[in-house]
Amino acid sequence: DYIEVPVLLKFLFGQNDVKPYAMVGPSIGYLLSSKMEYDLGIFGSGEEDIKDETKSIDFGVGFGGGVTMPMGKNSIFVEARYAIGFVNLNDDPEDTETEIKTNGFQVFVGMTFPIGK
């Protein structure tokens, strides 16, 4: 589990009230926890903490797009993003062959509203 902090550039298109947009930029992730689940059939299954064998920092890129629409003084938006990590997060010195990388798909629906005047 990583907490990811993206820094995205947003490009708005069109002159109408309904505005599509695209985003792209880097992201950095900070390790919160790392667990491995295993199933050994008749010998049982379980979960093991492998935080000591996982890199604590991940670096990647995110990109996506969406659309924003006015709704009175506020606006609503629908957005989708895909993030992909570039760092091999496997930090186990005994396992140099396994490669672990992050990726994720996110969908957002929200409302923006002005604060103050």
| pLDDT, tens only, 105-114 | 999 999 998 8
pTM of the model: 0.77
- The band of 14, judged by pLDDT with boundaries at 50, 70 and 90, is confident
Query: Would you place residue 117 in the very low, low, confident or very high pLDDT band (cuts 50, 70, 90)?
Result: confident
The DSSP line for 31-71 is E---EEEEE-GGG-EEEEE-GGGB-SEEEEEEEEEEEEEEE
The model's pLDDT over 34-52, given as tens digits with 9 standing for 90+, comes to 998 989 888 888 998 989 9
